[in-house]
């Protein structure tokens, strides 16, 4: 995971600071969605045959697979959005800056909505499987 090193300077305008903070935030969203992508792969793997035999996880498995697609779509959209933000330096007026800021707010809402739905799905899964696993006796 590579962190963006965006410097905020004393001479930056409020708009410059906003754009820099938004860029850092966007990078964090992308890194988080990459983590969720890996986590979903693990959760889908858990819903395999062994667990399906013990629980009715087929419905949850389908939801995880759908969430995986949604996560990939949002991740792709955020990558495209990150690329488009390179044009911010060409803004010459407040109206242009506000277009980028408004777009960022829209992506923020999409990201937070996705995150909320994903967390609810994980909670649903863990509430179904809680207490259903038996630990293997490990011999030293």
Q: Looking at the domain assignment, is residue 44 inside a domain?
A: yes
DSSP 42-57: HHHHHTSHHHHHHS--
Q: Looking at the domain assignment, is residue 22 inside a domain?
A: yes
Q: Looking at the domain assignment, is residue 2 inside a domain?
A: no
Q: Looking at the domain assignment, is residue 1 inside a domain?
A: no
The residue among 133 and 7 whose pLDDT is bigger is 7
Per DSSP, 90 falls in state: G
Q: Looking at the domain assignment, is residue 136 inside a domain?
A: no
Name which of 20-24, 26-30, 47-51, 69-73 the model is least confident about. 47-51
Domain that holds residue 110: 14-128
Work out the pLDDT band at 140, boundaries 50, 70, 90.
Answer: low
Tell me if 66 sits within 8 A of 127, measured CB to CB: no
Q: What burial letters (b/e) apply to 53-63, b meaning 16+ CB within 10 Å?
A: eeeebeebbeb
Q: Looking at the domain assignment, is residue 7 inside a domain?
A: no
pLDDT for position 117: 97
pLDDT for position 65: 93
Q: Looking at the domain assignment, is residue 134 inside a domain?
A: no
Is residue 73 scored above 50 in pLDDT? yes
pLDDT for position 40: 96
Is residue 1 scored above 50 in pLDDT? no
pLDDT for position 126: 86
Whole-number mean pLDDT of the chain? Answer: 86
Q: Looking at the domain assignment, is residue 68 inside a domain?
A: yes
Is residue 107 scored above 60 in pLDDT? yes
Domain total in the chain: 1
């Amino acid at each position: 995971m590579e962190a963006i090193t965006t410097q905020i300077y004393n001479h930056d305008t409020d708009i410059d600071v906003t754009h820099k903070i938004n860029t850092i935030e966007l990078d964090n969203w992308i890194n988080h969605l990459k983590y969720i992508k890996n986590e979903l792969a693990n959760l889908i793997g858990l819903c395999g045959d062994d667990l399906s035999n013990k629980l009715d996880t087929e419905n949850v498995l389908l939801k995880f697979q759908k969430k995986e697609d949604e996560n990939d779509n949002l991740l792709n959209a955020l990558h495209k959005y990150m690329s488009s933000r390179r044009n911010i330096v060409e803004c010459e007026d407040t109206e242009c800056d506000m277009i980028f800021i408004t777009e960022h707010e829209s992506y923020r809402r999409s990201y937070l909505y996705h995150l909320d739905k994903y967390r609810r799905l994980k909670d649903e899964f863990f509430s179904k499987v809680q207490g259903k696993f038996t630990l293997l006796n490990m011999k030293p």
